[in-house]
Structure formats: C-alpha cells, structure tokens
C-alpha cells in the first residue's frame, strides 16, 4: 500500500499572485469631527454667567482619525470597504474627508457613494481617474473548507501587508443575530486595520471582505471572518448605482432551536428557529404567526443555523407573498405572509429585548406559602412559585387581570437560575398550556415526563418587557 500523494494546488510561493493583486488594494483613512461634552464644570448651572468667560460654553468638537483597508473594483475608481471604516465614530460625528492611499504612496481624495449598515459595506469613488488597477469578485459559493486564501490589508496602519491561510468554515454563524451573520471563517492573520480589505482565492478573485476577528487579546488568534462575495457583490452593485438597499422583514423575535428548546418541544435540534415574540401589526402578525411557533421552511428553503430566518427573509423582496412552513403545538402547518420592508438598523436596535434585566428587590414582603404540588415543581424546575393574586400583581407592576403563577425563589444552580429566571417573573404557560395555578404547572411537568420530554417550555413575563419563552431542563 503506497502513501497518499498530496494533491497539487498548495503554492510554493504566493509572490506571483500577490504581485498581481496588491496594486488594487488600498489603505483608507478618514478624518471626522466628533462632538464632545463641555469641559466647563459650571455649564448648565446658575454659575454659568459668573464664570462663563473662563471655559467652553457648550459642546465642542475634536478631530479624530480612522484607518482601514479597501480594494478598487473598476478602472475609474470605485472602491469597496466596510461601512464601519468610513462611518462616524459617534452619532453626532461628521466625516470631513476620506483619503485613499495606493501601495505606491499616491493619495487620492474619495467621496462616499453609498453605504449599508446592515451588511457593513460601503462604496467610495476616486474621481478623475480612468486607468487604476482593479480586482473582481469571484463566486464564494464554490469555496470549500480547506481552500487556500490570502488577505491583503493595512493592519495597525502599517501599510500593505499580505497574509495567507485556509478557509476554516463557510456560512459561519457567529451568534450576532443580524441578517448577514453568515461568514467565511479563516485562520489567515487578520488584525485591526484589515477591515474592508479583500480575501482572495488562488485564482485571484475576491471571495470575501475581511470584516471581524474573534480574539480575547484584540490581535489575531487565527479566527477571522469575511463577508462572502455572494452576499457582498449584489449589495456593492446596488450601492455603486445609487440604489436603495431594501430587505424583507416579518417582525418576529427569534432564537435558534437549541437542544433545550428542541427537547421541550419534542423536535430535532438544529433545524428551524423558534418565535419568541411577534411584533403587533407587522407581516408575521398579519399572517397569523404566533409566539411559540417554529419556523421550518421559508419560501421552500429550509431554515438552519447556516441559513437563518433573518437571512432568508432579508433576501426576499418587500411586497412578495411567500409560503412559510411552521410547527405549532407539534403540528405542521403552512401560512402565507406578505413580506414588509426591513426598518433601519437604529430602529431595530431600539426593539432589542434584554432578558437579563433584573427585578427590584423582594416584591412579596414576608408572604409564606405551602401549596400542593410545590415539592414537585421545586424538585423538577429548581424554582418555587406562588399564585398571582391582585395584591401581588400590584406589587410587581402586572395587570390586575393577568393570569399565571409568580416565581418566588430560584435555585441559582438550577437550569432556571442559569437561564436568568428571577423572583418576580410570572409564568404564563408551560408547553403552550395556560398556567393559572400551581396544580396546572405540576400537571404540565407530569405530562412532559410521561412523554419522555427532557425539558419544559415556559412562557415568562417580566415587568416592562415582552413575554418570552424559556426552555427549562427537568431535573
């Protein structure tokens, strides 16, 4: 038996390829005016007039600079980079100039043609040029784990730097929850300043745009992420033409179908995404989609960790009507939804719900309780509950007519404690069945055990926040 012979393709040197590609990779620097708070300690007080002449009278500005990378995609000077490279550092900042520096040191002023915050892409233009070196996008969908790649960029402002490595993973979901959380992962050294630079395949095609790293130190540890060309190229083309980037939107808050969630629902894990909440009046609500549903397919495409609901919907044209396959209470069903237009990233950020916000201390006073079924609940879930009376509802800020049971204590070492359940949270349902008494919660536990479920899906209301689903492992 002879030894395996390695396939050809690993180059003895990247020098020829680098010599061909490097002239089109540029350094990008911006200058911006950032507003800073007044340094006058008496500003806004009765002493302002008395001491007004001795310091700044209001917000002042300072000059700031940022550095990044980019690449030229046309002879007449269109340049691609990351949005965060050319975006103001703060909401009240203003970009005053953008400079593109070629590898030979030649500097050009550039203007912003368009940028897209959701995908973190931007297009610049160097005016008055007709013969600049440029590179082209390739087909990243053909990239495979183990393929060689090289990255060229401007790490730490040092200037043109070339690094090489392999593709470590494709369609990597980093857990950010964004519509475009679908990266090429590489062990190629990527550092601060590489953002916006190209990742090339061995044919010299741009298959990714370097975007982020995972690092406990701030430097490269061999885990870098690039926006795939299959996502970037269509967006860049629209930005270059001055078109608005429109994306689909359903209006749901979702989470991956984790092992615990799948166990509580009796479903296969890593297939589908779970609906935590539905925004009233939005496309999902109009289609009849409910909190607690599981998305399985969207417009015929399977929902997976690599192909998320957010990605599939974002790439659907607003106004399109699409079939959506769901699982509800163990049964499959299909609804049709007319996709809406995705709000801006700022608007979406204002909708973010933090399940870890804590309650005020002890809304229950000294109330003690001994209820039938409490032992089963404590033993199975690691928490204690009491009935939701009008008096307690008033103390914890709940509606007087709300029905449920209130968590009065949580074992911090239990799954419930680890998942952030806290004293004062209201349990509204268990495995989609209303819980209006301790007996109802106890019955839900017994039913789950009888069908060999390892977890119980609780719907929990926390003061001032939307109700959310939390799968709790049964002990």
SS3 state at 225:
strand
Kindly state the tokens that stand for 78.
């269109």
Residue 84 bears catalytic tag: yes
Residue 195 bears catalytic tag: yes
Please state the separation of Cα 171 from the chain's center in Å.
Answer: 14
Cα angle, residue 272 at apex, residues 270 and 275 outer, rounded to 5°: 125
CB atoms within 10 A of CB 253: 18
Residue 187 bears catalytic tag: no
Element (H, E) at 24: none
Pick from 205, 231, 219: nearest CA to 155: 219
CA distance 256 to 27: 38
From the list 116, 120, 201, 293, the catalytic residue is 120
Identify the burial level of 404 via C-beta atoms within 10 angstroms of its C-beta, where 0-12 means exposed, 13-18 middle and 19 or more buried.
Answer: buried
DSSP letters along 66-101, please?
A: EEEEEEE-STT-EEEEEHHHHS-SSTT-EEEEEEEE
Strands (E) in 219-330, as ranges, are 224-228, 248-249, 252-256, 273-278, 294-298, 301-302, 321-328
Kindly state the tokens that stand for 318.
């607003």
From the list 69, 140, 195, 380, the catalytic residue is 195
From the list 84, 116, 181, 384, the catalytic residue is 84
Catalytic residues: 84, 120, 195
């Amino acid at each position: 038996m002879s030894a395996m012979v390695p396939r050809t393709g690993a180059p003895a040197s990247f020098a020829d390829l680098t010599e061909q590609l490097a002239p089109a990779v540029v350094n990008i620097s911006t200058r911006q005016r950032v507003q800073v708070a007044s340094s006058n300690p008496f500003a806004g007080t009765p002493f302002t007039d008395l001491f007004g002449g001795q310091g700044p009278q209001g917000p002042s500005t300072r000059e700031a600079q940022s550095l990044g990378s980019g690449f030229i995609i046309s002879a007449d000077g269109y340049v691609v980079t990351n949005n965060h490279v050319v975006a103001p550092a703060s909401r009240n900042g203003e970009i005053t100039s953008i400079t593109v520096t070629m590898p030979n040191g030649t500097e050009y002023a550039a203007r912003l043609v368009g940028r897209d915050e959701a995908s973190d892409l931007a297009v610049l233009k160097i005016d008055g040029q007709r013969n600049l070196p440029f590179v082209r996008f390739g087909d990243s969908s053909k990239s495979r784990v183990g393929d060689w790649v090289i990255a060229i960029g401007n790490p730490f402002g040092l200037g043109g730097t070339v690094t090489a490595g392999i593709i470590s993973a494709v369609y990597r979901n980093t857990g950010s929850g964004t519509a475009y959380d679908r990266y090429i992962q590489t062990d190629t050294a990527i550092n601060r300043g590489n953002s916006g630079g190209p990742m090339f395949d061995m044919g010299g095609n741009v298959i990714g745009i370097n975007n982020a790293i995972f690092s406990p130190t701030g430097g490269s540890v061999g885990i870098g992420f690039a926006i795939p060309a299959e996502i970037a190229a269509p967006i860049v083309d629209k930005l270059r033409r001055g078109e608005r980037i429109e994306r689909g939107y359903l209006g749901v808050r979702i989470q991956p179908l984790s092992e615990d969630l799948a166990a509580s629902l009796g479903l296969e894990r890593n297939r589908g995404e779970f609906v935590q909440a539905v925004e009233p009046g939005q496309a999902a609500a109009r289609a009849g989609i409910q909190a607690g549903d599981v998305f399985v397919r969207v417009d015929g495409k399977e929902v997976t960790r690599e192909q998320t609901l957010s990605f599939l919907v974002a790439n659907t044209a607003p106004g399109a009507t699409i079939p959506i396959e769901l699982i509800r209470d163990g049964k499959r069903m299909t609804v049709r939804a007319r996709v809406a237009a995705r709000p801006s990233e700022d608007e979406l950020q204002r909708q973010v719900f933090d399940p870890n916000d804590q309650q005020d201390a002890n809304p229950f006073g000294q109330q003690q309780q001994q209820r039938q079924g409490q032992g089963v609940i404590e033993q199975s879930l690691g928490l204690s509950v009491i009935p939701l009376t009008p008096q307690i509802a008033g103390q914890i800020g709940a509606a007087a007519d709300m029905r449920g049971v209130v968590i009065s204590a949580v074992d911090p070492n239990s799954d419930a404690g680890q998942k952030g359940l806290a004293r004062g949270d209201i349990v509204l349902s268990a495995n989609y069945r209303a819980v209006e008494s301790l007996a109802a919660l106890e019955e839900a536990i017994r039913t789950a055990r009888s069908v060999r479920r390892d977890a119980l899906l609780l719907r929990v209301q926390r003061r001032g926040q939307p109700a959310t689903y939390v799968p709790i492992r049964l002990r």
